[in-house]
Amino acid sequence: MKDITNIIIASVYLTLIFYLINTEDKSNPIFTNKIESTKTTDLIKAKSENNKIIIVFGAKWCFWCKKLEQETLQNSKVKENISSKSIKLIFIDIDEEPNLALKNKVKSIPCIILQDDDKEEKRHIGYMGFREFISWIN
């Protein structure tokens, strides 16, 4: 009887996981629509065009990455501040570009790296509100 109960519980659990995966909000996934994910070649091109680059490492499944994009990086004050400093904002999905994440020693996401002339100036791990983000890049 105990085995049957465990099988039923496991089946319900797996069904719930499958349901949640297939019903996630696809209307606003991170790194698409508003801000595009970037490939390695795009990052190389951005480095050759700009002195300062902000690289945001994240993933589609990451709650804090989505929150960072929606509440901080889409904020008009943040966008204005970035463009006034001629900083290029680059998004790297760690699932699509794992080698790039390893190369940059990304151990936790969201990971935000400010580079100047291809040298890391500073790094922040985790979510930042828009005010904290603006003061971080200044």
The CATH number of the domain holding residue 119 is 3.40.30.10
DSSP assigned state of 69: I
In a domain, 52, yes or no: yes
In a domain, 75, yes or no: yes
This model's pTM is above 0.75: no
Could you list the residue range(s) of the whole structural domain that residue 114 is in? Answer: 26-137
Helix axes 76-84, 130-137, angle to 10 degrees: 10
Please determine, for residue 120, whether its predicted confidence score (pLDDT) is greater than 80: yes
In a domain, 11, yes or no: no
Quick one: tokens of 34?
């508003």
In a domain, 8, yes or no: no
Number of domains in the chain: 1
In a domain, 1, yes or no: no
In a domain, 19, yes or no: no
Please determine, for residue 20, whether its predicted confidence score (pLDDT) is greater than 60: no
In a domain, 55, yes or no: yes
29-83 pLDDT, tens per residue?
Answer: 444 434 455 555 555 555 556 568 999 999 999 999 999 999 999 999 999 999 8
